[in-house]
Chains A and B, each alone.
Chain A
Amino acid sequence: DSGVTQTPKHLITATGQRVTLRCSPRSGDLSVYWYQQSLDQGLQFLIQYYNGEERAKGNILERFSAQQFPDLHSELNLSSLELGDSALYFCASSVEPENTEAFFGQGTRLTVV
């Protein structure tokens, strides 16, 4: 158990819908990262927050957004969902913003039908 908690574990939704994925980082970790894992694109970095502020941005679509709350948990919002958004979404956390020894959660498997 990495100490990073993601909910829900599985999510099935229809195209055009909006979903929210939640992540609780390890106790004491200030930095949260979101990754998308799909068969054709592998593991792709989406976005990073550190202590509530956006720190780094990857290939995150405009339909996707994230935030980190004062209690350090983070949410990834995916809207206007398309079939191609079906993937595993991972959250990771680390103490420092430099991504050293980032610990990953178990992921949320999103299926868009």
Chain B
Amino acid sequence: GAVVSQHPSWVICKSGTSVKIECRSLDFQATTMFWYRQFPKQSLMLMATSNEGSKATYEQGVEKDKFLINHASLTLSTLTVTSAHPEDSSFYICSARTPGQATEQYFGPGTRLTVT
């Protein structure tokens, strides 16, 4: 149980274009989802927290107009990287927390984004 999927697993896009990454909780309802980015050999950096039906809360330094997060249902959250630049190339990981579960997060397999 508690499986989180991400799609796509990897994506290459050209500079200036937008790309959408989906995060789905497959066998549970996720009231809260988290989006992280990770650079090679570094730790996870929280970008934003999204709660179903409300606006995402972004971490300091994360451009909310560039990284659009939508948590439209209890099983789906999306991250859209708008006007992508090469420096946005990174590994993006989502996680989800079940209702009433205040501790454990279940992580997706990650999405490798390369901007050329």
- Pairing of A with B: no
Residues of B within 8 A of A (CB): none
Residues of A within 8 A of B (CB): none
